[in-house]
Amino acid sequence: MKDRQGFSYQIYETYFQKAKEAYAAKRMTEAKKMYLNSAQSLLRSAKDTDGEMKEALIRRAEKIVRLADTIPEISFCEISELKNGSDIQITKSEPHMVSQENKEKEEGETNWKRSGSPGVYFDDIAGLQDVKESIRTRVILPRLHPEIYDHFRRKVEGGILLYGPPGTGKTMIAKAIATEIDAEFYSVRCSDIVGKYFGEAEKNIRRLFDTARKSKSSIIFFDEFEALAIKRGGHSTVMNRLVPELLSQMDGFCGTEENHLLILAATNRPWDIDSAFLRPPRLTQKIYVGLPDYEARHYLAEKAFLSVPCQVENISDLIAKATQGCNAADVAAVCGSIKDNAIRYAIENGQSGGMIRAEDVETALQNYHSSVQQSDLDQIRHWEKLQGNG
C-alpha cells in the first residue's frame, strides 16, 4: 500500500516537472495537460492515505487544477509557430520592410502572460519573513483596508523592485501578491514587448498598460527588468525609443490615486537599470530577496519529501546543512536529484516503488552545484551602498 502511494506521488512529480518545463517553453496545450495529469496522480496518491496527509494532497491537487484552469488551451506563441513555422520570440529588432498583410495578421497579438489569480500563496514561499511582512504592510493591507489608510492620511504609492540573486523566489512573491489581492497578473519579459516591426515595442507597452488599466485590480510584473529598463544612451534604437515610453506609462500608472494597479519588477542585476525607473512615482520601494537560511532550506526539503517513502532519518536536516549558501531553486534541484537517484535504482531493480536510500542522498549531495556566484552577491551589496549614499 505504502509503495503504491509513493509511486503515484513520483508520477505526480514527473508530470508536474514536465508541466513546468512545457509552461516555461510556452507549450501551453502540453503544460495544461501535464498539470491535470499531475493533479490526477496526486488524488490517486491521496486515496491511500488518511488524516492531515490526505487533506494536504487533495488541497495541492485542487491548487494545481485551479492553476491549469488559468492556462489558455493554446498560446499566441504556438499560434504564431503554426502560422509561420518559426519562433516569434525576437529580442533584437530594427525597422524592416514588411507586407501590410503580414503586419495586420500579427497586430493585436500579445506575448505576455495574463492570468487571474496565479495560485501561488505566501505559505508556499520558504523563509523571507521580513520580505513577506514588508509586502503585507506596503501592498496587501492598503488594498484590504483602504478606509483605515485614508483615515490616517497614509498614501502608499509607487511600484516595488524585488532584487537579489536568481532562484530566491522573486517571481513567486509577485505571484503570491496577485493571489492574495485577487488581481489579474500580467507577467512580462523584454522579449514579449520587443517586436519585429518598427514602432511595435512602444505600441506593445501602451497596449499592455491600457489592458491592465481596464481590470478591476491588476499587477504588471516585469521579470528580468534590467533587460527592459536598460540605461539609456546605448546603440539600440529600439530600446532608446522604448525606455521613455515605459517611463511615461509608469508615471501614469504609479502616480494614480487609485490603488487597484500595481507595478512589480524583479532583477538579479539592479545596477543595470536606468536610475530614472527608481525615482518617484515609479519603483519607490526596493526589497532585497536573499538566500534561504537554514530554517527555510529545512522547510523546502521537508515539503519535498512529504509523504515520500524514505529510509534516511533527518533527511531535511542533512539537505539543509549541506546546501548552505545555495538559493531555494538549488535546494529544490537537490531534492529532485535525490528522488531521481531512487527512481533510477527502483527501475533498474525492477521495483514498482521503493524507498529513498542513504546512497541516493549522498550521491546527490556530492554532485550538486550552487548557482549562486559570490561576485553577484558582492555586486548587489556594492549597488546597495551606492543607493544609500546617493
Interface ranges with ligand ADP (CB under 6 A): 125-128, 166-172, 266, 292, 300, 328-329, 332
CB of 58 to ligand ADP, least distance (A): 21
CB of 117 to ligand ADP, least distance (A): 17
Task: Specify the residue, 142 or 292, whose C-beta has the smaller distance to ligand ADP.
Answer: 292
- Asked whether 365 and 315 are in contact (CB, 8 A), the reply is no
CB atoms within 10 A of CB 279: 12
Cα–Cα distance for residue pair 258/333, rounded to 1 Å: 41
Task: Specify the residue, 269 or 357, whose C-beta has the smaller distance to ligand ADP.
Answer: 269
Task: Specify the residue, 202 or 223, whose C-beta has the smaller distance to ligand ADP.
Answer: 223
Task: Specify the residue, 212 or 333, whose C-beta has the smaller distance to ligand ADP.
Answer: 333
Task: Specify the residue, 49 or 316, whose C-beta has the smaller distance to ligand ADP.
Answer: 316
Cell of 106: 500579427
CB of 210 to ligand ADP, least distance (A): 26
Nearest in space to 267 (alpha carbons), one of 151, 383, 132, 120: 383
Cell of 38: 499531475
Give the up-direction half-sphere exposure of residue 2: CA atoms within 13 A in the CB hemisphere. Answer: 6
Neighbouring-strand partners of residue 187: 113, 221
CB of 165 to ligand ADP, least distance (A): 7
Task: Specify the residue, 210 or 295, whose C-beta has the smaller distance to ligand ADP.
Answer: 295
CB of 169 to ligand ADP, least distance (A): 3
CB of 49 to ligand ADP, least distance (A): 23
Task: Specify the residue, 21 or 87, whose C-beta has the smaller distance to ligand ADP.
Answer: 21
DSSP string, 124-189: GS-S-HHHHHHHIIIIIHHHH-HHHHHHTT----S-EEEESSTTSSHHHHHHHHHHHTT-EEEEE-
Task: Specify the residue, 5 or 171, whose C-beta has the smaller distance to ligand ADP.
Answer: 171
Please give the C-alpha separations between residue 64 and each of 16, 68, 118, 124, in angstroms, as whole numbers: 9, 6, 10, 13
Task: Specify the residue, 30 or 376, whose C-beta has the smaller distance to ligand ADP.
Answer: 376
CB of 326 to ligand ADP, least distance (A): 11
Cα–Cα distance for residue pair 116/121, rounded to 1 Å: 14
CB of 292 to ligand ADP, least distance (A): 6
Classify burial at 123, counting beta carbons within 10 Å of its beta carbon; exposed 0-12, middle 13-18, buried 19 or more. Answer: exposed
Strand ordering across the sheet containing 113-115: 113-115, 184-188, 218-222, 261-267, 160-163, 285-288
Cα–Cα distance for residue pair 302/39, rounded to 1 Å: 20
CB of 162 to ligand ADP, least distance (A): 8
